[in-house]
Amino acid sequence: MKGHLVKESMSLKLWRAVSYIVLIFFSLLCLFFFFMLIINSTRSHYQIQQGFDFLPGSNFISNFKKVLSEDQFPIGTGLLNSLIVSGFTSVLAIYFSAMTAYAIHVYNFKGKKFMFNFILLIMTVPTQVSALGFVDLVNKMGMRNTFYPLIIPAIASPVVFFFMKQYMDSSLPLEIIEAARIDGSGEFRTFNQIVMPIMKPALAVQAIFTFVGAWNNYFLPSLIIQTKDKKTVPILIANLRSKDWASLDVGEVYMMITLAILPVMIVYFSLSKFIIAGVALGGVKE
């Protein structure tokens, strides 16, 4: 019996060691592309053409100055534009999606199940399917080359709504809402001062995902934005990469991409402590 337990213990340790090795390998594999990006941002166009090197180059400052001095691709303006669009998109998406999920979770009304299923059905519609009609509507409303068509639709975010609803099902007892009503709290006060703090992990998780999605969005901004002073970072990077090969500086491209991911990394590391709690509770229903 003792020998059997020792054998099981050794087998468990072996599987654990193998699991750690596999996880470390895939973690290093994911981080390698970030490492490669940073290394190439310090090298010149000629050095990059010679092949990858694990040692950083000496052209970081020159690449940085080239990116900042680009009049045709104003990275500073692009970063500000992307921050405006991504920031407002995140705030609107998580607040109004949480409010919609709260209404579906708390209230009982006719057509509640149909409304929930209808919102989920919208999740299956690709953006490309409705893009032509959306751009036509934007033109008729006179909002072409503005940020409004990129921000306002975030109010209706089915994916964020679904996550919030699942999180509320697992972590927001209706007894708390009833107690607040008995104490005389209004619905908006209950939502803003009681529900929102409870939802903090889910809000942080969806803020990260929504911010990253809006930051990397190229399709819709490329259809709506026309002037360079309104272009976001993904459009600038795509335009820079489409330059004539004779005048293209790959080191400059890598530097622009490096600058583009910095705000995303800052947001992620600022809110990452909520990810495990938010995903774990949002994916479990009691």
Q: Which CATH number does the domain housing residue 240 bear?
A: 1.10.3720.10
% of the chain beyond a pLDDT of 90: 15
Euclidean distance between the first and the last CA atom of the chain, given in angstroms as a whole number: 39
Q: Give the tens place of pLDDT for each residue, 216-243.
A: 888 889 889 988 889 998 888 888 777 7
Nearest to 84 by CA among 214, 234, 227: 214
Q: Which domain holds residue 232?
A: 65-282
- Report, as an integer, the average pLDDT of 96-113: 89
54 phi/psi in degrees, rounded to 5: -75, -15
- How many domains does one find in the chain? 2
According to the model, what pLDDT value does residue 2 have?
Answer: 54
Chain centroid to Cα 165, Å, comes to 19
Chain centroid to Cα 207, Å, comes to 7
Considering the domain architecture, whether residues 72 and 208 belong to the same structural domain is answered as: yes
* Reported confidence tier of residue 214, pLDDT bands at 50, 70, 90: very high
Considering the domain architecture, whether residues 56 and 85 belong to the same structural domain is answered as: no
Considering the domain architecture, whether residues 249 and 125 belong to the same structural domain is answered as: yes
Residues 165, 283: Cα–Cα separation, whole Å: 10
Q: Of 13, 37, 60, which marks where a domain is finished?
A: 60
Considering the domain architecture, whether residues 111 and 127 belong to the same structural domain is answered as: yes
What is the number of alpha carbons within 13 Å of residue 271 lying toward its C-beta?
Answer: 21
Question: Is residue 225 within 8 Å of 231, Cβ to Cβ?
Answer: yes
Q: Of 22, 43, 60, which marks where a domain is finished?
A: 60
**Mean of the per-residue pLDDT values for the chain?**
83
Considering the domain architecture, whether residues 185 and 238 belong to the same structural domain is answered as: yes
Q: Is residue 3 predicted with pLDDT exceeding 50?
A: yes
Considering the domain architecture, whether residues 178 and 148 belong to the same structural domain is answered as: yes
Considering the domain architecture, whether residues 83 and 136 belong to the same structural domain is answered as: yes
According to the model, what pLDDT value does residue 181 have?
Answer: 87
Q: Which tokens go with 150?
A: 């990129």
Question: Is residue 282 within 8 Å of 202, Cβ to Cβ?
Answer: yes
Considering the domain architecture, whether residues 26 and 167 belong to the same structural domain is answered as: no
* Reported confidence tier of residue 97, pLDDT bands at 50, 70, 90: very high
Considering the domain architecture, whether residues 94 and 133 belong to the same structural domain is answered as: yes
Considering the domain architecture, whether residues 87 and 43 belong to the same structural domain is answered as: no
Q: Is residue 154 predicted with pLDDT exceeding 50?
A: yes
Question: Is residue 94 within 8 Å of 267, Cβ to Cβ?
Answer: no
CA–CA distances in Å: residue 109 to residues 14, 29, 86, 169, 189: 55, 50, 34, 17, 21
Question: Is residue 169 within 8 Å of 104, Cβ to Cβ?
Answer: no
Considering the domain architecture, whether residues 21 and 160 belong to the same structural domain is answered as: no
Instruction: Report the predicted TM-score, pTM, of the whole model to 2 decimal places.
Output: 0.82
Q: Of 38, 60, 82, which marks where a domain is finished?
A: 60
* Reported confidence tier of residue 87, pLDDT bands at 50, 70, 90: very high
Considering the domain architecture, whether residues 77 and 156 belong to the same structural domain is answered as: yes
- Report, as an integer, the average pLDDT of 198-207: 87
Q: Give the tens place of pLDDT for each residue, 237-282.
A: 888 777 766 667 788 888 888 888 888 888 888 777 766 655 555 4
